[in-house]
Amino acid sequence: FKKSGRKLILVTGRELPDLKRVFPELGVFDKVVAENGALIYTPASEEERAISPAPAPKFVASLKKRGVKPLSVGRSIVATWEPHQA
């Protein structure tokens, strides 16, 4: 595939540390778009580039104070797996 000059890109909503844990062979990809598009990772150089700002600390603290669980905070995203209402 790569010998033909094509690039292999993985696009996922996962946070990079979690992705590396469940799929350590990221080196097969030329680029990884993670965190729902907010983080670009280049496995060959291990360069990470966030294309959106980090979550506001006050926002994250507010979610934790309200007991939102599970809560996952990435470089650019905040995620949970259960519906929550204010």
Contact assessment for residue 32 and residue 45, using Cβ atoms and an 8 Å cutoff = no
Closest CA to 41 of 6, 62, 14, 81: 14
Long-range contacts of 30-38 (CB under 8 A, 24+ apart): 30/2, 31/7, 33/9, 34/74, 35/74, 35/75, 35/76, 35/77, 36/77, 37/11, 38/74, 38/75, 38/76, 38/77
Share of the chain above pLDDT 70, in %: 94
Place of tokens 């992705």: 19
Q: pLDDT tens across 24-33, in order?
A: 999 999 999 9
Query: Domain residue spans in the chain?
Result: 2-79
Mean pLDDT (the chain) is 92
Residue 64 has pLDDT above 70, yes or no: yes
